């Protein structure tokens, strides 16, 4: 019983991913950047669908997330989606001694964060350099985010140059219907 409780606490704290966990889901090329992202136990950098191309990673998150946290669960005035990524620390890594190497790779990389909102049609797009992730706070990063229709993301300069196949896959992913609620909400 004690070991079951320890595993549940670890899962809630993000220390252990259950077998068959949905994310990360890697696509694109095997690169040094993908290697660095695989060293992370938990980070927004790998919390979603991740395309890697050279020194660019595109992180796509679709809301509602698999844990079923929805917009209606937030208090009024609470920021629902922020387009920022926190810096990587030793505690985020499977092997904390790899921090210097992972940080060096991330700092010379570009990260494109693409959040599809709960309505299934609106997106938030933010192009972030690795330097910004380590040197700027969430508000500074979020200030450069662009809100737009998901159908318009390919018109933006922040979007990386991807293969036609990846472009089709990403567009289809953005058009998938939002998941229905898993739980009954008491506040309506």
Question: What is the distance of C-alpha 16 from the center of its chain?
Answer: 17
Q: Where are the beta strands (DSSP E) in the chain?
A: 25-28, 49-53, 56-62, 110-116, 122-129, 146-149
Between 17 and 122, residue with greater pLDDT: 122
Residue 118's pLDDT band, with cuts at 50, 70 and 90, is confident
pLDDT surpassing 60 at residue 12:
no
Residue 82: the pLDDT is: 72
Neighbours of 31 (CB within 10 A): 17
Q: Which residues contact 58 (CB under 8 A, 6 or more apart)?
A: 28, 50, 51, 52, 111, 112, 114, 159, 160, 162, 170
What mean pLDDT do residues 168-177 have? Answer: 94
Tell me the C-alpha distance between 51 and 30, whole Å.
10
Q: For residue 186, give every residue at least 6 positions away whose Cβ sits within 8 Å of its Cβ, in sequence order, or none.
A: none
Which residue blocks in 125-163 are alpha helix, DSSP H? 130-135, 138-142
Out of 48-52, 78-82, 86-90, 127-131, pick the least confident.
Answer: 78-82
Question: Please, which residues have CB within 8 angstroms of residue 8's CB and are 6 or more apart in sequence?
Answer: none
Q: 57, exposed or middle or buried, with CB in 10 Å at 0-12, 13-18, 19+? A: buried
pLDDT of residue 178: 81
pTM: 0.78
Q: What's the pLDDT band for 84 if we cut at 50, 70, 90?
A: confident
pLDDT at position 23: 80
**Pairing of the two strands 49-53 and 56-62:** antiparallel
For residue 156, the number of C-alpha atoms closer than 13 Å in the C-beta half-sphere is 21
Q: What value does the mean pLDDT take over residues 51-71? A: 78
120 secondary structure, DSSP code: S
User: Is residue 172 pLDDT above 50, yes or no?
Assistant: yes
Higher local confidence (pLDDT), 68 or 151: 151
Rounded mean pLDDT, 11-32: 66
> What is the structure's pLDDT at 18?
41
pLDDT for the residue 15 = 37
């Amino acid at each position: 019983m004690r070991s079951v409780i320890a595993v549940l606490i670890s899962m809630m704290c993000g220390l252990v991913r259950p077998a068959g966990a949905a994310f990360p889901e890697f696509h694109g090329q095997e690169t040094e950047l993908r290697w660095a992202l695989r060293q992370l136990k938990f980070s927004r950098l790998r919390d979603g669908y991740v395309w890697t191309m050279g020194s660019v990673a595109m992180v796509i998150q679709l809301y509602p997330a698999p844990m079923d946290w929805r917009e209606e669960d937030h208090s009024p005035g609470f920021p629902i989606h922020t387009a920022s990524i926190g810096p990587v620390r030793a505690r985020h890594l499977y092997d904390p001694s790899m921090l210097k190497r992972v940080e060096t790779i991330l700092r010379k990389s570009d990260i494109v964060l693409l959040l599809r909102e709960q309505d299934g049609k609106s997106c938030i797009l933010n192009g972030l350099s690795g330097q910004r992730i380590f040197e700027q706070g969430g508000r500074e990063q979020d200030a450069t985010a662009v809100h737009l229709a998901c159908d318009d993301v390919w018109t933006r300069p922040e979007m990386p140059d991807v293969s036609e196949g990846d472009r089709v896959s990403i567009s289809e992913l953005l058009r998938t219907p939002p998941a229905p609620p898993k739980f009954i909400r008491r506040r309506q």
